[in-house]
Structure 1
């Protein structure tokens, strides 16, 4: 997941993060202000949707239903590549290009967009009716200074996915609940079956479960400290690196580690991966999972502290600050993030809703969604800082170097910390 950043000086990230987390619960107190009759609202809006190829057709059908329900509103649907959308959006704003009225924004983009004034305030609008109905873990990325700048559409916790048949063949009866147990299980699977135990993704987002398991994080915004190189973080990175050096995990390729991980898991060439609910549609197309019951889903393993945590990923629908048709854009966001639509996408695509009411009996009757919902109870709210996008972008090559054995964990994390300090977070201290 790629990210960009914004910065307004030392301490700005801390203020944003603290305000977001402290006031997320306060979104429940914001009612919907009186507005025009929806039947009277007209306008032509453009929506940039970053859904993947397996999701986009179903989402597009919902757009057609919205237009049927609101004949005065025309929606121009544009599917934009997720990895290009953030910069494309910023470029359009900067260059005076065609800025979409509505954007599907990764939660990691939000703080920078809000700081730079790119998003409309949706507090009390039809875009977020009944805001108290969202899962508490999803609102941290949309509330700033008590104002709401987006509507959570989907949440994406990471979980441990495993091949039950390979586990049984190796004599394993349950998924590992610690990183140490995962290493041992992976080595046992490899010895008995000849199949690699686990594959890792080199994207730095996937480093967070290792950090959380050691009680660490990228930053400590409360004290304006960079913690990526502290003792706990080095211990976390060492744990991940040793999965590869021990032979428990296959060495990630230098190119498209995520694609390689997915392909190996689908075909039964590897027994375990870390991934989210968005991946299950493709997994069930793989030869190893023609029997859907073969897919096991468990919470992220715990670190040496006994704690475990999955980062709260996901996407929000936001409205551009300069939209010419705010009422139309608000109605569209409200429709697309309503519990009814979220339930439908969950049933069709396996996505995890952000609305509590979308967790109906039908949604939770599916073992996959039920397992991910349970995994989401172990979620840790990600630090919502304007610099977050660039922090990950700069961390990425070094995290890849750690997993590929090209650089010692302590050195890679120290270089990351001082790079952040010199270029993104001047005035912050580095904790070692």
Structure 2
């Protein structure tokens, strides 16, 4: 899982602190040579990092007075590592930050406001809703780097074999389609995730969320939320519906089954596009179907907006900040984003990066088409942590060990998510 779970990590190692910002390192003084900035990249070390390393080298070649110290940090450790390093004034100069981390780090003063800086010189080119995602308390603390959302991804060949001509529009349609696919092909039609991030779409489909930011109220115990989780739970049992996998390797199991044609549809994000194509079911890329997530009883469909920004550490000295701002502008340029999209099959955040060549990738084109259903996250420092207790409780419910009626069998969910300062 790559979205929204870093806040649940139990251990915050500070092993990477020594590789961080050169602001206090006299060896990086301009009189001693090029300014060296440290960049913590949180992308997949195998599939994505090589592209970012190559672009960093390209930046150095174009800017000989600046050196980039590249460090790849595992995504599920990065939030806590940066929090620890920044609190000790030893954070990297630039962080590839998940969009949900912005409010908390901005509130603590760890991120530099970027309004009016070189980093945001091309602000008008970015999709406005993604700029809003990078804001906290009226200021912008990151430049959108890559974006994503969830979609219903499906195996077109299996759907066609079952006589299903279009992607399901509602969760009820999906349930019906799964049964038909099982009957006609022998393959399960749908395999759902028990992780809280993937359950967000069910909440949006009932017109709710885990929290009402305006009312400052946790809504996970609301009638709408209970209905959403009831629908979610119902997709783990029935003909053509794969039972819940509550093991630690569930994500890998679901992904492997889908890419190899052992299940016809799952809910997934564009960070897996390159891995889809590696599976036996999608050697022909055109077999990958991508549709907006099904709608709930409100008739509306929604999926969480994810992605990453590039943010600059506020604790760096002026020379390092100026170099970092220039680096961020380069990495988020249309040319760089187009390169990243072509190499990594990720979604650009600016319209001018969606070139004809980029959109020739059916995965990118498909996910670009579902972006209108993406729902912004509330600008709350506490918001990401609300998924933690759900990540603990939802597998129990999916496995039949607890009831979806939180107030009866799992009162700790509501109490665990309430922040006294919220």
Cα distance between partner residues in 1 of 2:286 and 2:411 = 43
Give the equivalent residue in structure 2 for 1:177: 169
Gaps of 5+ in 2: 9-32
Deviation string 1:223-255 (CA, Å, 9 cap, x unpaired) is 111111101111110111001122423322321
Residue 396 (structure 2) pairs with residue 401 (structure 1): yes
Residue 273 (structure 2) pairs with residue 270 (structure 1): no
Give the equivalent residue in structure 2 for 1:235: 227
Correspondence 1:213-228 to 2 at 5 A:
213-228=205-220
Aligned-pair CA distance for 1:220: 0.8
Aligned-pair CA distance for 1:152: 0.6
Cα distance between partner residues in 2 of 1:220 and 1:312 = 17
Residue 248 (structure 2) pairs with residue 255 (structure 1): yes
Give the equivalent residue in structure 1 for 2:385: 390
Contact 1:229/1:414 (8 A) holds in 2: no
Give the equivalent residue in structure 2 for 1:124: 116
Deviation string 1:271-317 (CA, Å, 9 cap, x unpaired) is 10111111010111011111111111111111111000111100000
Cα distance between partner residues in 2 of 1:249 and 1:383 = 32
Give the TM-score, by structure 1 length.
0.87
Give the equivalent residue in structure 2 for 1:134: 126
Give the equivalent residue in structure 1 for 2:349: 354
Give the equivalent residue in structure 2 for 1:417: 414
The counterpart of 1:101, out of the listed 90, 93, 96, is 93
Partner SS state of residue 119, structure 2: coil
Gaps of 5+ in 1: 6-40
Give the TM-score, by structure 2 length.
0.89
Of 214-223 and 129-138, deviating more is: 129-138
Which portions of structure 1, spanning 4 or more consecutive aligned residues, are displaced by more than 6 angstroms? none
Aligned-pair CA distance for 1:192: 2.1
Aligned-pair CA distance for 1:132: 2.0
Contact 2:102/2:135 (8 A) holds in 1: no
Cα distance between partner residues in 2 of 1:185 and 1:295 = 17
Correspondence 1:38-77 to 2 at 5 A:
42-52=34-44, 53-77=46-70
Cα distance between partner residues in 2 of 1:95 and 1:129 = 31
Residue 161 (structure 2) pairs with residue 206 (structure 1): no
Give the equivalent residue in structure 1 for 2:18: none
Give the equivalent residue in structure 1 for 2:279: 286
Deviation string 1:167-224 (CA, Å, 9 cap, x unpaired) is 1121111110100000111121122222111122222111111100010101111111
Give the equivalent residue in structure 2 for 1:13: none
Cα distance between partner residues in 2 of 1:84 and 1:3 = 6
Aligned-pair CA distance for 1:165: 1.2
Aligned-pair CA distance for 1:95: 4.1
Contact 1:202/1:258 (8 A) holds in 2: no
Contact 1:300/1:308 (8 A) holds in 2: yes
Contact 1:213/1:308 (8 A) holds in 2: yes
Of 194-203 and 123-132, deviating more is: 194-203
Give the equivalent residue in structure 1 for 2:78: 85
Deviation string 1:5-45 (CA, Å, 9 cap, x unpaired) is 9xxxxxxxxxxxxxxxxxxxxxxxxxxxxxxxxxxx95110
The counterpart of 1:246, out of the listed 238, 260, 268, is 238
Partner SS state of residue 153, structure 1: strand
Give the equivalent residue in structure 1 for 2:309: 316
Change in 2 beyond 3 A, CA 1:72/1:295 = same
Of 132-141 and 318-327, deviating more is: 132-141
Contact 1:107/1:141 (8 A) holds in 2: yes
Change in 2 beyond 3 A, CA 1:156/1:209 = same
Residue 7 (structure 2) pairs with residue 4 (structure 1): yes
Contact 1:3/1:108 (8 A) holds in 2: no
The counterpart of 2:334, out of the listed 321, 333, 339, is 339
Give the equivalent residue in structure 2 for 1:189: 181
Residue 324 (structure 2) pairs with residue 329 (structure 1): yes
Cα distance between partner residues in 2 of 1:88 and 1:45 = 18
Q: Which has the higher contact order (CA 8 A, sep 6+)?
A: 1
Q: How much is the aligned-residue C-alpha RMSD, in angstroms?
A: 1.7
| Aligned residues between the structures | 389
